[in-house]
């Protein structure tokens, strides 16, 4: 077995080609799927049985609430991860990725957590999690080529895109008969238990259930999803994603600490999860929490769930354009709460958000877990370039890494392309 690098190189984007801010938008889906089929042909010398893909995602609001049964509002991106695959009469799985070196060969019979390292674990984990659905103990004989356009490690969930594209391919190739929610749960198990990276399920739900022109009101209590209209393009608006490219620091330990503090808060308040606290009773209810830091952590989660509820209700009731000020204020309040109460922002995130607001964005916030990663800003479509320029200038002035930019339109969930 060869040993591919653990750190695949990101796919080159338009942003790499020239200096200054460039707004990378997603290349044409059919073209990209055909290209992935060609990569398969080059790699294995025959044509694939098909090509499947699944999108990255960005969370519009509802951060650090999934582990307290909260609500969040992700949308799937048009940027997708493509998987060309063919079934083979063996028990071998052969893998390649356009974003990683080398060829990987695995024995499909012996997949157990801890046996596969690096990026192939995201694929092997899905095989492992779905193997109970194989009829009659058939082997997973499979050749596979991955080509991703979701930037890796930017907080846009390239990991769930990869898992969910693989799950879609397996469903069709092996006629597994799984429901979408079973594929979501398998992808979550793959990442939590096989790869060993903590994930709450938001990413996989968006990657499977995304819908063009919509955001998804996701209830993390049962992973039920309600699509709400988020058709920015039709209203002359755009969502500017800024990948700050800031070094992720202390992520594991800080994430675990926040989760622990949120559990302490729920215990002090005598509730199962903070979802059960009525925001109308704040701030008085929080006085039951003795520790000042834990009290602020709880205030973030309880008020953030309420902000998601409000944005969801606004989007159900009318257009984004018609309610811009209210949506913007809720996005801004979300960021400020994550900065001041939850303390998961870093200078690069605050800088991008401050610069976007100063440049006239209708609301801006960090998105994802924090400590690096990406921000979003709701902007007039014809102002996107100018806002990006201001964000880039602010980063340069502060000696921060040069950000990468994307224009995000809500795309479809996992599916078959060819």
Under the criterion CB under 5 A, does residue 374 sit at the interface with Mg ion?
Answer: no
Q: Of residues 66, 69, 147, 203, which has the active-site annotation?
A: 203
Q: Which residue has the tokens 């990378």?
A: 24
Gap between the Cα atoms of 416 and 156, Å rounded: 21
Residue 332 bears catalytic tag: no
The minimum distance between CB 123 and ligand ADP, in angstroms, equals 8
Say if residues 64 and 275 touch (Cβ distance below 8 Å): no
Site string for ligand ADP, 24-63 (x = CB under 6 A): ----------------------------------------
Q: Does residue 384 interact with ligand ADP by CB under 6 A? A: no
395-401: long-range contacts at Cβ-Cβ below 8 A with a sequence spacing of 24 or more? Answer: 395/244, 395/348, 395/351, 395/352, 395/355, 398/347, 398/351, 400/244, 400/246, 400/347, 400/348, 400/351, 401/244, 401/245, 401/246, 401/348
The pattern of x and - marking residues 181 through 210 that bind ligand ADP according to CB under 6 A reads ----------------x-------------
Say how far apart CA 285 and CA 308 lie, in whole Å. 20
Question: Of these partners, Mg ion, ligand ADP, none, which one is at the site of residue 162 (CB under 5 to 8 Å by kind)?
Answer: ligand ADP
- Look at residue 153 and give the partner it binds from Mg ion, ligand ADP, none, a contact being a CB closer than 5 to 8 Å depending on partner kind: ligand ADP
Instruction: Report the nearest approach of ligand ADP to the CB of residue 364 (Å).
Output: 20
Q: Does 372 bind ligand ADP (CB under 6 A)?
A: no
Burial class from Cβ neighbours inside 10 Å (0-12, 13-18, 19+) for residue 382 reads: exposed
**Nearest-5° Cα angle at 130, 70 to 37:** 100
Strand partners, 53: 82, 415
Q: Which stretch binds ligand ADP (CB under 6 A): 43-51, 152-160, 168-176, 290-298?
A: 152-160
For Mg ion, which stretch binds (CB under 5 A), given 123-131, 154-162, 292-300, 381-389?
A: 154-162
Q: Which of 13, 53, 81, 375 binds ligand ADP (CB under 6 A)?
A: 81
Cβ–Cβ under 8 Å, residues 160 and 199: yes
CB of 368 to Mg ion, least distance (A): 9
What is the torsional sign of CA 343, 215, 81, 172?
positive
Where on the chain is the footprint of ligand ADP (CB under 6 A)?
Answer: 8, 81, 97, 99-100, 119, 122, 146, 148, 152-159, 162, 197
| Residues catalogued as catalytic | 203
């Amino acid at each position: 077995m060869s040993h591919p690098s653990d750190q695949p190189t990101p796919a080159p984007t338009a942003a790499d080609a020239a200096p200054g801010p460039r707004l990378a938008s997603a290349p044409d889906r059919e073209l990209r799927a055909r290209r992935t089929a060609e990569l398969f042909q080059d790699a294995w010398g025959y044509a694939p049985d098909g090509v499947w893909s699944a999108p990255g995602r960005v969370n519009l609001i509802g951060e650090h609430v999934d582990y307290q049964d909260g609500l969040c509002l992700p949308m799937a991106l048009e940027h997708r991860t493509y998987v060309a695959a063919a079934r083979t009469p063996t028990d071998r799985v052969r893998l390649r990725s356009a974003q990683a070196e080398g060829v990987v060969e695995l024995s499909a019979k012996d997949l157990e957590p801890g046996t596969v390292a690096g990026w192939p674990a995201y694929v092997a984990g899905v095989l492992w999690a779905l193997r109970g659905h194989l009829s009659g103990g058939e082997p997973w004989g499979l050749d596979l080529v991955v080509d991703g356009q979701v930037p890796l490690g930017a907080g846009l969930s390239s990991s769930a895109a990869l898992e969910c594209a693989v799950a879609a391919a397996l469903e069709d190739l092996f006629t597994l008969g799984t429901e979408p929610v079973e594929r979501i749960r398998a992808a979550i198990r793959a990442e939590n238990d096989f790869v060993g990276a903590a994930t709450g399920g938001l990413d996989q739900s968006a990657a499977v259930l995304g819908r063009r022109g919509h955001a998804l009101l996701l209830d993390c209590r049962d992973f039920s999803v309600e699509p709400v209209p988020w058709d920015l393009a039709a209203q002359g608006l755009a969502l500017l994603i800024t990948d700050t490219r800031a070094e992720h620091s202390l992520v594991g330990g800080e994430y675990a600490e926040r989760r622990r503090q949120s559990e302490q808060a729920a215990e002090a308040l005598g509730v199962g999860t903070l979802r059960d606290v009525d925001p109308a009773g704040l701030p008085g209810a929080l006085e039951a929490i003795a520790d000042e830091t834990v009290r602020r952590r709880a205030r973030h989660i309880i008020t953030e769930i309420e902000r998601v509820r409000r944005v969801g209700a606004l989007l159900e009731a009318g257009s984004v354009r018609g309610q811009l000020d209210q949506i913007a204020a809720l996005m801004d309040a979300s960021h400020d709460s994550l900065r001041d109460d939850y303390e998961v922002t870093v200078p690069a995130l605050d800088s991008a958000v401050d610069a976007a607001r100063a440049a006239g964005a209708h609301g801006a916030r960090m998105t994802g877990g924090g400590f690096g990663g990406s921000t979003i800003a709701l902007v007039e479509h014809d102002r996107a370039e100018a806002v990006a320029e201001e964000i880039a200038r602010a980063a340069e002035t502060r000696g921060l890494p040069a950000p990468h930019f994307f224009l995000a339109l809500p795309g479809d969930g996992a599916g078959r392309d060819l």
